[in-house]
Amino acid sequence: MMARTILAVTLTVIIASTTHAAEADAKKAMIMLTHWQCYTWASMHDNTAAVERHFVAGLEAGNVFMDAAIAGMITPEEARANVPVMVSLTMQGPTKDFILGRLFESIQGDAYDEITAENEIGLPLNPADYITDDELIDVKARTRYDRANCTLL
């Protein structure tokens, strides 16, 4: 009887830790997205040290997330709860590296547009009103980088 109890407890701990690990792997998608957004804003105001740090950290998180997703370790419920829609919609391609490249391009483009093609409340600007002034782009990118707490990552 004691052996069954120990086995049941052991299986419960294994299942709980596996579930926790899968949830943590799913959350790596948000970490990847956030780092690559910060990468974009840092590059728009020439913060070269932050650019490299955010790119590498985003890539590392993306690799962990992709490995778990490819292995089928992330349940649909975990994906819905923890994976940004932008990431879910871009998860197509022949290889992990190809998909990560698509994700980087998509995240970077969206973060860039937040600065140059959207107003202060996130609504799209008319193309004639896109922000092209380098100084204004620099200020907006610095502000967005700071407001997103990118320095804390």
pLDDT digits (tens, 9 = 90+) for 77-117: 999 999 999 999 999 999 999 999 999 999 999 999 999 99
Domain count within the chain: 1
Q: Which domain holds residue 15?
A: 2-152
At 30-74, the pLDDT tens digits run 999 999 999 999 999 999 999 999 999 999 999 999 999 999 999
pLDDT confidence band for 22 (50 / 70 / 90): confident
Please say whether the beta carbons of 31 and 61 come within 8 A. Answer: yes
pLDDT confidence band for 20 (50 / 70 / 90): low
